[in-house]
Amino acid sequence: MTEKAFAIGLYSYTTPAPGADGLKAFHDLVTSIFHRIGIAPTYFAAEGLGYKGELTKIGGRVYTKALKSGFSDIHVMSLVANPEGSAEPGYDSFASASLSYVEEIDETLFCLAIEERFLEFGGDIFERILMSCIGLRHWDFGYALSEFIEKKPEFHVLGLDVGKLTAEDRKRLNKWYASLPEVRFQKIRDVYPVNVLNDTQLNAQVSASQTLEDIIRADSFSSLRRVGDRQLWLWEVQLGGLDDLRNMLATGSVLIT
């Protein structure tokens, strides 16, 4: 059986940069998540003043420097878990996490990806981990998806194209790239098995008589509940209902891609 991996993506355009405290909270959360499922981070990377963005070993000089500084002067941080003795941490990781801030568009992006041999997508432990990620800081929206490992679901979250996308997927990615933060706050990128929505997205008009919330509550494959101190909504869709929902929403103006 072909192995799969999942990725969680959470976005914010309405809060300040994470700063050193936010990055420390991210580091501690990811480390605890990894330990909870029986793995440990092996490599670390940071971008910022005095950091080159290269993956270096946990416990090495760069990692120790970041710890001692309290993660100051960093705007991108990544933690990855690799097989023992890995010499290519960027290629053979089985779990990874990153937190980044892009000043030009005030975007904070959290991404967590884990192979499903370590953690079942959609199970009870997954949901508890998702809630802990949502609780990391204030988010505007997010989602989670599961793909074959070769497709690297984290690339979808991070908006990366390494030349393996279909023409249709590349077109959809380009639409996402071109969308402004205010549009992303109001609409949804796609329909995923796990969707984290804000009130504006949930109240988006699908037709003259129906909002997205109306569609969700009428759909037998969907469930909807408040999460994140009641600031966000968790919309979960059973796999059997994804295509019909996508087709239904594609005719309106709710989907970005």
Given this model, what pLDDT does residue 72 score?
97
Widest Cα–Cα separation across the chain? 60
pLDDT under 50: residue ranges of the chain:
none
C-alpha 242/C-alpha 100 separation (Å) is 29
The whole-number pLDDT of residue 139 equals 98
Query: Residue 105: helix, strand or coil by DSSP?
Result: helix
- What residues does each domain of the chain span? 1-160, 163-257
Distance of CA 5 to the CA centre of its chain: 13
Supply the pLDDT for residue 211.
97
Distance from C-alpha of 256 to C-alpha of 36, rounded to nearest angstrom: 35
Note the pTM of the prediction, 2 decimals. Answer: 0.96
Per DSSP, the three-state class of 132 is helix
133 touches 112 (CB < 8 A): yes
pLDDT digits (tens, 9 = 90+) for 199-213: 999 999 999 999 999
Q: Note the pLDDT of residue 90.
A: 86
| pLDDT tens by residue, 176-187 | 999 999 999 999
Q: Which pLDDT score is estimated for 190?
A: 97
Q: Is CATH 3.60.90.10 the classification given to domain 1-160?
A: yes
